[in-house]
Amino acid sequence: MIAIIAGTYKPERCGVAHYTDCLRNALNKLEVQSVVLTTHAAAKEVGEPEVKGVVNDWQLTDLLPLVRSLHIIPTDILHIQHAAGTYGFERSIFLLPLLLKATGYRKPIVTTIHEYGWWEWQPKGIPPQFLEWFKMWGQQHGFWDREDGFLLTLSDTLIVTNAEAEAVIHKRLPQLNNRVSNIPIAANVDVFPIARNKAQELLRKKYNFTIDNIVIAFFGFLHPVKGIETLLLAFQKSLETHPQARLLLIGGVESLALRGDEAKRYWDKLHALIAELNLNTKVYLTGYLDAESASKYLSGCDIGVLPFNHGMTMKSGSLLTLLAHGLPVIATQHPTPLPDNHPVCLIPPRNIDALANALCQLLNSPEKRQHLSHLGRAFIQNFTWSNIARSHLNIYQKLLQS
């Protein structure tokens, strides 16, 4: 039995929670059972017996009930899923391994680092020069690291989901190199079995598309960092030579990163921009869709596009989902390169002309779209939840044996 700590467990609103849910399902197929420990509010909303609320939040006062729960619940391994935002950017989780070991907890601790290298603890009232010296002194001696406290240094195994995080950990904490395993993520939406012509018919009925329309799909949460404004301007430009094109923005705005009124304002902003660009009959926003509906929609589309402002990496479940659905994909370049055999058409971020040109090239060529589709399906075979689960099982078994 694996105890999994999740900062929040709302898979429909959080990518890390969705990852955790997919991992649990894949592990279950290998007869590895798990229990999720999260906030009372998240557990109540999910309503599953294997998802237990043990804390109110992730502040210092919540650590003691969490430690007590871990000592009581009969499990073999503790697995912490960590991304700063899922814990509301609270730092108390960084002390958990220290408190566990101080209270006699001897079970193996695994931590999956989903994000790393971009934020730090900056408490008020401590002179910056002393704080920097203190962070570096502890990191150099392997006591803690400047970003995640004791979370990395006192874990028995670290799992990273992307090359960027792995590189920073190796640079900062070379003494932990033999504890780090890189296990890439997989598509966050399974391909629902539906014939392409049936999926296209579904879109035609829903959005009044014609058989001549070529449908471009963006998939994922609609957030300001996703480059959607650039996409709308580039799409408008491509319509000058390809008026049969249509753009489908598949996904909602409400998430842990964009909530409540802020999410509604961005939703309204996108609709206003679409109207301003006179694209009301060319661009459609689906809002949040369940996994089966999202898959059916994607199977009826022709081109995928992910123009993220900061570039695309292999930690994007949206990228893997588009490829799994056989879509040729246009995405923006990131300083960390994609694998050598990737089939993605890469362009510079925030570049309207480059994106418009890339769209036009694929709109012009059904043969190129088909070729990239085949390459994408072949590429994605290495990124499956069954592979991820087997890699985790190997790690768990080695820890228990040792």
Please give the average per-residue pLDDT across 346-373, as a whole number.
Answer: 96
Please give the average per-residue pLDDT across 109-133, as a whole number.
Answer: 82
Please give the average per-residue pLDDT across 186-209, as a whole number.
Answer: 92
Q: What pLDDT sits at residue 267?
A: 86
Of 56-70, 137-151, 325-339, 385-399, the one with minimum mean pLDDT is: 137-151
Structure tokens at 63: 């650590």
Please give the average per-residue pLDDT across 363-369, as a whole number.
Answer: 96
Query: Could you give all domains of the chain from N- to C-terminal order, each with its CATH number?
Result: 2-186+384-401 (3.40.50.2000), 196-380 (3.40.50.2000)
Of 6-15, 41-50, 185-194, 228-237, the one with minimum mean pLDDT is: 6-15
Residue 354 pLDDT more than 90? yes
Residue 258 pLDDT more than 80? no
Q: Band the pLDDT of 256: cuts 50, 70, 90.
A: low
Please give the average per-residue pLDDT across 91-118, as a whole number.
Answer: 91
Q: What pLDDT sits at residue 158?
A: 96
Whole-number Å distance between alpha carbons of 257 and 58: 17
Please give the average per-residue pLDDT across 339-345, as a whole number.
Answer: 92
Residue 120 or 80, more confident: 80
Whole-number Å distance between alpha carbons of 254 and 318: 16
* 91-111 CB burial, b ≥16 within 10 A, e <16: bbbbbbbbbbeeeeeeebbbb
Please give the average per-residue pLDDT across 299-326, as a whole number.
Answer: 94
Residue 12 pLDDT more than 80? no
Structure tokens at 234: 């580039």
Residue 239 pLDDT more than 70? yes
Q: What pLDDT sits at residue 151?
A: 92
Average pLDDT, the chain: 91
Q: What pLDDT sits at residue 201?
A: 95
Of 20-34, 170-184, 246-260, 289-303, the one with minimum mean pLDDT is: 246-260
Q: Band the pLDDT of 16: cuts 50, 70, 90.
A: confident
Q: What pLDDT sits at residue 132?
A: 81
Instruction: Beginning with the edge strand found earlier in the chain, give each strand of the sheet holding 214-219 in spatial order.
Output: 283-287, 245-250, 214-219, 303-306, 329-332, 345-347
Helix (H), strand (E), coil (C) string for 256-268? CCCCHHHHHHHHH
Residue 254 pLDDT more than 80? no
How is residue 339 annotated by DSSP? P
Residue 351 pLDDT more than 70? yes
Whole-number Å distance between alpha carbons of 402 and 242: 62
Please give the average per-residue pLDDT across 309-330, as a whole number.
Answer: 93
The DSSP code sequence of 25-37 is: HHHHHTT--EEEE
- Number of alpha carbons in the 13 Å side-chain half-sphere of residue 50: 14
Whole-number Å distance between alpha carbons of 332 and 311: 5
Q: Band the pLDDT of 72: cuts 50, 70, 90.
A: very high
Q: Band the pLDDT of 148: cuts 50, 70, 90.
A: confident
Whole-prediction pTM:
0.82
Please give the average per-residue pLDDT across 304-322, as a whole number.
Answer: 93
